[in-house]
Amino acid sequence: MEIVSGHLLARLTTIGTGGPATAFARPTTLHELEEAIAWAGARGLGVTTVGLGSNVLGADEGVDALVLRLAGELAEAEVDGTLLRAGGGATNAVCLHRARAAGLGGLEFACAIPGTAGGGVRMNAGAYGSDWSDILVRAFVVAPDGSGWLTRDELGLEYRRSRVEPGHVVARVEYRLVPRAEPGIKAAVAELVAQRKATQPTTKRTFGSVFKNPPGEVGAGRMLELCGLKGHAIGGALVSPRHANFIENAGGATSADCLALMAECRRRAREQFGVELEHEVVLLGALAD
């Protein structure tokens, strides 16, 4: 496993912004992952995992940490009965493909989430009324002070959050699925994909949903739309004209542009609705301070 310096976060994130990481590696086995975390610990570096980079906004100045993207066997998935075992870096698309081929349902909602198994656990990702807590059995979490399996309850999955701590890496995931005919799975996925394409800017560079939905009947996107923010831009960052809870890189955007636009969205929501929106995107580097 090679550990390199200066790898740009802009090359790792779907929004396409962010400066260099102090260190970057692609561990392919559990042993390599543990070695990488130990390497970072010996140098006083934090550890962060980016997955597909679809829920990440990194500082333009860079991130003083070891940034990981799981690969190899840590990005594979296989079916055992009604159990789907996946590496933390396995994409939701790969997991869904394996499940569909085996005639197993329950993961269809993940077709709307361009991320990984590990990222899904960390944030209890969800869409269309389902989330990771509905299908997760347990996850193997690697930490500087020891590694092990944690059950769904031990992971404390709640709306868009878990007890997985910063610097801990979800290396393996087990899902319990249910038998379902492949045509039914394909039809359900096709319907969800069509809904997503009709309502979200799927052809634009974004980092996914910006804010968590606040309590109540009005979601974050609708709230920001009512604030008149669709199409509002700061620098190269644009509130999507299609869905106001997405920020697009309209060309040459920086993370600072995105953060400033997020701040304006929060200000407008606070003034008009008295609601303090909480960001869903993970902030790295100086942005998180």
Active-site residue numbers? 160, 209, 280
Distance CA 115, CA 51 (A): 7
Is there a contact between 238 and 252 (Cβ–Cβ < 8 Å)?
no
> What secondary structure does DSSP assign to 256-274, as a single string?
HHHHHHHHHHHHHHHHHH-
Residue ranges with strand state E in the chain: 3-4, 21-25, 46-49, 56-58, 63-68, 77-80, 83-87, 104-105, 126-127, 130-131, 136-142, 148-151, 169-176, 178-179, 233-234, 237-239, 247-249, 282-284
Question: Which secondary-structure segment (H or E) carries 36?
Answer: helix 30-42
256 CB burial (10 A radius; 0-12, 13-18, 19+)? middle
Return the DSSP state at 98. Answer: H
CA 46 to chain CA centroid, Å, is 19
For residue 49, give the 3-state DSSP assignment. Answer: strand
Q: Which residues contact 215 (CB under 8 A, 6 or more apart)?
A: none
Relative to beta strand 46-49, strand 63-68 is parallel
